[in-house]
Structure 1
């Protein structure tokens, strides 16, 4: 069958796209038969639209990754310029754009971190960070949390704590613990301080009983994202760092979702007095314009492989189109004060706006977050904190979409996660839509 070169520009409808999709595309995390995917044709900033003329405020940032917004012109232009110069190159070669991308990232990393290993996304970033920690320490076990998501590759999915781990447990040496989550404390805690102390004691005892000499790494999302935007309580991350130091364990902080402006800082870890041995990133580093991720490596770990071969690599590691998008993204973040905007939006607009929303709607059991990284936890009863049902969340999602807002829904939560370039006016519109949707289902 011949295909026209202008097929992408031909007039099409949402129905055309859905029919084409359902005939040919196999979707992730889904039973395929009943799917009816939402169509997105284009976007700009915090807005997306379909082929039938409907527009939506994108308060999902897709998968919490379009931090710089949709179709940022300088990033698009940088990708085009790189495509004209050199569209691909093997990772064994040196490439100027790749070097610049690494330099830009390291400029915002903690002191003492000196190299970037580029990957294709967040999952294989975590995969390779685990590999580095194991090879550096000569140990095998990795401790991570039940409330976590680290990606869908071999070790990353087993490090993950949620339900997606269970059908995929083919990797060895993984141990899980409960992290702090005061609203649904596993430790009968009543204050943030108690929750921090008791979660640390739980981790301490786990390390002791697993055998400290067998533990290569503790892998944590600095702020668990998909698991509920769970800000670490005072002293928790510092306590984890101290435990790792005591036992020669590497601390890996997963900043795939929380990094690059999402929390109102360059990295979420910037708000805490902690320096990890490895940092993983993806998503916000270039807003997913070209697939990319990576590991930020401490001097100590990178030196391990000065004379020893690192047994890992990817065909597209440091792909020049991805590298160009990183350089342009970080330059735009700096020049346009995008990280500062995320902090301002969180502090001056989402903090009071979401608190007011909770005051009007008893179904909101807790509001938590910072920057442009927030969760509304919905409950049937404020006293028992029993989560609302999946059917209730389905109705909320439909009401939000019908009013022109694309939400991020996870379990019994609405995650309020707009791009870091979102404006106060767009936040006001979104808050009105959340208010209307919650009123409609109660």
Structure 2
């Protein structure tokens, strides 16, 4: 007898609970949502319960679910060559690299491919240390850079604390005007004071010991913290003044998420190393990498780079990159993200904040937004985890899949999202914020 759709969902849950160990979770109380398939901005379970995906899973399905061009590219590559050692030259890998550097600053012409964002940051740190002959890496407390040895210690949030096994990491405070560490009252003050703080950290740690400043261009999991005017350019100036490599982590913010190919394109700054993953192929096949400036790449013309991965530039992942970037070009997907952000999400979320006092601040750009939720607007006291949990439950019950973190809801749909889908989501948020959540 063939299983019913509901039985398939039950079977998926049963197997998950029996055999799957979940990340960042206490295992006993988990009740994961079953996702069987999806298309565009929607996903569904076996029984047909459908959800509008305003999480983009982990803010990575920029091109949406099951995009036919990307599926076709992977399928065609699978018929030709499914895997190859990274030491070989492979046409698909070369085409993927060419498409990536075409969108990078002109002095960036090489890509080192990794399996994801964490090992991209790991290898960027390695390159910076080898390039400078220094050891220390500076990164912010409000950050997430991945769950490998150095990347998780470069991370500033709580996940660093039980994992501090890597050496040479120092943290500082980045700008966050809504909860300023610097007693600032304007974006300009926040930028100036945050830069002064960073320079004092550089001086206090000893500039001659610092290999790199590693920053998310727009910190994502930490709250979509859009940098204030002049901040990133000021960090670039400090890096130049003290001979420090600037690494911009574009793992979450890159490839259309902000309505630009790279988030830093909007901030008058050019990094030395650029890390990427997620949106480069929407995670259809795991891939990430480091885009390397010509100056740093030249270090390894005659000197061996001491790093590598078996699946660096895996053909199926590279085909997914080619398919994704070509489709994003042909269909104007990056431009759509910019339009949706400017004309629909920005005014729609502002209207929600005007109506609901639980929303303390709205911030973002493109399809990369956060609603900071507060128990009291005057004190800015964050809402409790219980309130966020109830909000998530109510949104799911209404068919909207949210991304929540701490006291925030991140509004992060695929870059292909339509104006009608945004309107649908805004209506759902409005309904849920109108409930008694106490």
Give the TM-score normalised by the residue count of structure 2. Answer: 0.98
Q: Does 1:188 align with 2:189?
A: no
1:240 counterpart residue number: 235
Q: Does 1:53 align with 2:51?
A: no
2:311 counterpart residue number: 316
CA distance in 1, matches of 2:8, 2:130: 52
CA distance in 1, matches of 2:43, 2:170: 40
2:433 counterpart residue number: 438
1:412 counterpart residue number: 407
2:389 counterpart residue number: 394
2:75 counterpart residue number: 80
- The SS at the match of 1:32 is coil
1:357 counterpart residue number: 352
1:114 counterpart residue number: 109
- The SS at the match of 2:382 is coil
**Residues 393-422 of structure 1, C-alpha deviation per residue, up to 9 Å, x if partnerless?**
010000100000000000000000000000
- The SS at the match of 2:319 is helix
Which one of the candidate residues 164, 170, 173 is aligned to 2:159?
164
| Structure 1 residue 9 displacement after superposition | 11
Give the superposed CA RMSD: 1.2
1:103 counterpart residue number: 98
Assess if the C-alpha contact under 8 Å between 1:395 and 1:441 holds in 2. no
**Residues 318-353 of structure 1, C-alpha deviation per residue, up to 9 Å, x if partnerless?**
000000000010000100000000000000000110
Change in Cα spacing, 1:49 to 1:167, as seen in structure 2 (3 Å) is same
1:91 counterpart residue number: 86
CA distance in 2, matches of 1:409, 1:29: 14
CA distance in 2, matches of 1:353, 1:117: 40
CA distance in 2, matches of 1:8, 1:199: 59
Assess if the C-alpha contact under 8 Å between 2:275 and 2:291 holds in 1. yes
CA distance in 1, matches of 2:132, 2:388: 45
2:171 counterpart residue number: 176
CA distance in 2, matches of 1:34, 1:277: 44
Q: After the TM superposition, which segments of 4 or more aligned residues of structure 1 sit over 6 Å from their partners?
A: 7-11
Flag structure 2 segments of 5+ consecutive residues without an equivalent.
none
CA distance in 2, matches of 1:391, 1:35: 16
Assess if the C-alpha contact under 8 Å between 1:143 and 1:159 holds in 2. yes
Assess if the C-alpha contact under 8 Å between 1:252 and 1:278 holds in 2. yes
Which one of the candidate residues 335, 339, 344 is aligned to 2:339?
344
**Residues 212-264 of structure 1, C-alpha deviation per residue, up to 9 Å, x if partnerless?**
00000000000000000000000000000000000110000000000000000
Assess if the C-alpha contact under 8 Å between 2:135 and 2:168 holds in 1. yes
Task: Give the paired residue count.
Answer: 436
Assess if the C-alpha contact under 8 Å between 2:123 and 2:307 holds in 1. yes
CA distance in 2, matches of 1:334, 1:411: 35
1:4 counterpart residue number: none
| Structure 1 residue 69 displacement after superposition | 0.2
CA distance in 1, matches of 2:193, 2:81: 53
Assess if the C-alpha contact under 8 Å between 1:399 and 1:440 holds in 2. no
